[in-house]
Structure 1
Amino acid sequence: MSTVADKNAARHGSSLQQARLPGWAPYALVVVSLALGAGLGTALGMGNPFQMGLLAALVFIIASYAAGAVVEGSRQARNRLATSLVWVCFLLAVVPLLSLIWETIDRGRTVLDGYFLAHSMEGVQTILPGGGAYHAIIGTLEQVGLAALIAVPIGLLTAIYLVEYGRGRLAKAVTFFVDVMTGIPSIVAGLFILSFWIIILGFSYSGFAGAMALAILMMPIVVRSTEEMLKLVPDELREASLALGVPKWRTILKVVLPTAIGGITTGVMLAVARIAGESAPIVLLVFGATGINNNPFEGAQSSLPYYIYEQWQLGNEASFNRAWAAALVLIAFVMILNLVARGIARWKAPKSGR
C-alpha cells in the first residue's frame, strides 16, 4: 500500500513541476527594454526621454508576457503580465512626482539660504535679487494654526457624535453634509468667507479670514479620518467599560479616544498638510503684504502660497527664483508634517505581544 501511495505522490509531484524563468530574467528584460525603447525612440525621431520610457515600458510588458508564455505557460504568463502592468503604473505615478521634487530643489536652492528665511520683501525692488519669505512663513504658520484650532475640535466632536451617539435623521443629515463639504472647491470656501465676513459683517482682509476658509476645507477631512479611527476601536472595550458602571462620556474620554489617538493625530496632521498649500482662499481673503505682520486678526498678511503666486506674477528672473525657493520651503513644510504624522502613528500603534 505504501509503495503504491509513494508512486502516486511521485507522479503527482512531477506533474506539478514546471519550468521557471531564472531570477535574473526580469532584470535582463528591463535592460533590453530600455535599449530597445531608446533605439525605437531615436529611429522615430523622439527626443523626449519620457516618450522613450513609455516605449520601453510597452516593450517590457510584451517581452515579459512572451517570455512567460514560452517558458512557463499561459497561466504564469498572465501572472507576469499583471505584475508588469502594476510595476509600470507604479513608475508612471512616481516619475512625475520625483521630477517635480527634483525640479523644485534644483531651481529653489539657488536663493534658499538663511537670509531668504529671515527677511521679508519690505523695501526690496522686485526686479533685483534679494528679499525673502519670512513674512510669508509667519503668515502660513499663523493661518494654518488658527484653522487647526477651529477645525480640529469641531471635527473631533462631530465624529464622536456620528460614531457614538448619532442615530436617525440628524446623523444622516450630518453625514450627508460632511460628504458634500469634502468635495467643495477651495475657491467656494474663500468666496463664502469673503461675502459673509468681509462684505456683510464689514471686517477687513486678514490672516484670520483666510484661516476660517482653510478651516472649512479642513473640517470634513478631520471628521472622516476620526470617524474611521473610532470605528476601528473594538466594541468589547466599550462594553467592558460600561459593564463596570463607567458613564458613556467617560468611556469615550478614557477608553475610546486613547485607543484611537494615533490614527486621529495622523488624520489631523494630514489635514493640516492638505490646507497648507491652498492658494485660492488666501488670494481672496489675506490680500498679501510685503512686510511682516505678526497679527493675523488685523491688516493684510502674506503666506507661502500667496507669496509664490505673487512672485511668479512679477515675471522676472529674480522673482522666479524667489518663487521656486518658497515652493521648496512649502514642500519641506508639508513633508515634515507627513513624517511627523507617520511617526506619531507608529509611536501610538498597538504593541504586539504581551
Structure 2
Amino acid sequence: MNDSSMTLYKRRRRRNQAAMVLSCGAAGAGMVALVWILATLVLKGASGVSLAVFTQMTPPPGSSGGLLNAIFGSLIQTLVATLIGTPVGILAGTYMAEYGRNNGLTSVVRFINDVLLSAPSIVVGLFVYEIMVQPMGHFSAWAGCVALSILVLPVVVRTTEDMLLLVPDSLREAASALGAPRWLVIQKVCYRAARAGLITGTLLAIARISGETAPLLFTSLNNQFWSVNMNAPMANLPVVIFQFALSPYEDWQQLAWVGALLITVAVLSLNIIARTLSSPRASDR
C-alpha cells in the first residue's frame, strides 16, 4: 500500500470513528432522556396508585377520588374507534395491495394516507368539530370516536398494504391454480400469511390513539361524572391528565401523574406485544 492510499485509509478511518462517536453520543443522550422521563413518571405516579384510582370518580378539588370514569371513557372510545377504523383500513390496504397495485387511484390513496399519517392530531380534532360537534350543537363521545378512528385509519392502511405485499405471489398463484376465486385467495391465503402483521398494525394504531389529547378536547371534551351516554361529553384519561396537571391543586396533580403512568404502561405493553408478534419466530409459527 503506497503513501497516498495509506493517507486516504487513515482519513476514512478517522471519519468513521468520528461518526461512530457522534452516533453513540446521540443514542446515549436519547436513552438518558427516556430513562429520566420514565423514572420521573414512575416515582411520581406509582406513589399515588391505589384501589381508589380504579373504583372512584374524578373528584372536585380538595376531595379524594380516582379515575374510574376517565379509564372507562378512554377504553370505550378507543374500542369504538378501533372497530370503526380497523375494518376500513384493512379493506383499503387490501385493495391497494391486491387489486390496484399499479393504478393511479392507489397512488393517490397512498399519497393521501401518507399525509394523514403525519398530520397533527389537533387538525383531525378541528375537522371533526366542524363536521359533527358544531352541527350537533354539543360535544359527544361519538365525535371523539370518529376523530380517533381517523387517526387509526392511516396506520392500519399502511401496515395492511405492506404486510400483504410481503406475501409471495407464488402462494396466490398456487391457490388460483386450484380454482379458488380471488376473494377466497385473499381471505384464506393472504390474510392468514399476513395475520401477525395485521394484528401488529392494529395494536400500533391503538397505542397511537391511547394518549391523544388534542382531538378529544374538540370532540368528547370531559365529564366529571360516570356516563355511558355516547351522545354526551365523556371523560377520558388524556383530557383529565391535561386538566389536572395544569391545575393548582396537589391532589389533582397527583392523579394526573397516576393517569400518565397508566397510559404509559398500556402503550408500552401494546408495543411489546406488537414487537413480539412481528418477530421472525412469531411469523414462523
TM-score (norm 1): 0.73
- The question of 1:303 aligning with 2:236 is answered yes
Map 1:1-354; keep pairs closer than 5 Å. 77-121=14-58, 124-126=59-61, 128=62, 130-166=64-100, 167-200=102-135, 202=136, 204-295=138-229, 297-346=230-279, 348-351=282-285
1:203 deviates by 5.9
The one-character-per-residue Cα deviations of 1:22-80 (angstroms, maximum 9, x if unpaired) are: xxxxxxxxxxxxxxxxxxxxxxxxxxxxxxxxxxxxxxxxxxxxxxxxxxx66655444
The one-character-per-residue Cα deviations of 1:131-188 (angstroms, maximum 9, x if unpaired) are: 1111111011011111100110000000000011114332222222212212222111
Structure 2 distance, partners of 1:232, 1:190, is 34
Tell me: CA distance 1:95–1:228, structure 2 relative to 1, closer, same or farther (3 Å).
Answer: same
CA contact (8 A) 2:133 2:140 kept: no
Q: Return 5+ residue gaps in structure 2 as ranges.
A: 1-9
CA contact (8 A) 1:151 1:215 kept: yes
Q: Report the 3-state secondary structure (helix = DSSP H, G, I; strand = E; otherwise coil) of the residue aligned with 1:285.
A: coil
Structure 2 distance, partners of 1:170, 1:125, is 53
Find the counterpart in structure 1 of residue 3 from structure 2. none
TM-score (norm 2): 0.90
Count of residues in correspondence between the two structures: 277
Structure showing greater relative contact order (alpha-carbon pairs closer than 8 Å, 6 or more residues apart): 2
Tell me: CA distance 1:100–1:156, structure 2 relative to 1, closer, same or farther (3 Å).
Answer: same
Tell me: CA distance 1:113–1:197, structure 2 relative to 1, closer, same or farther (3 Å).
Answer: same
Q: Return 5+ residue gaps in structure 1 as ranges.
A: 1-72
1:247 deviates by 0.9
Instruction: Please provide the CA RMSD for this pair.
Output: 2.1
CA contact (8 A) 1:142 1:207 kept: no
Q: Report the 3-state secondary structure (helix = DSSP H, G, I; strand = E; otherwise coil) of the residue aligned with 1:215.
A: helix
Structure 1 distance, partners of 2:55, 2:28, is 38
1:205 deviates by 1.8
Structure 1 distance, partners of 2:168, 2:83, is 29
- Structure of larger gyration radius: 1
The one-character-per-residue Cα deviations of 1:232-276 (angstroms, maximum 9, x if unpaired) are: 111111111112221111111011111111111111101110011
CA contact (8 A) 1:261 1:348 kept: no
Structure 2 distance, partners of 1:117, 1:284, is 26
Structure 1 distance, partners of 2:103, 2:195, is 27
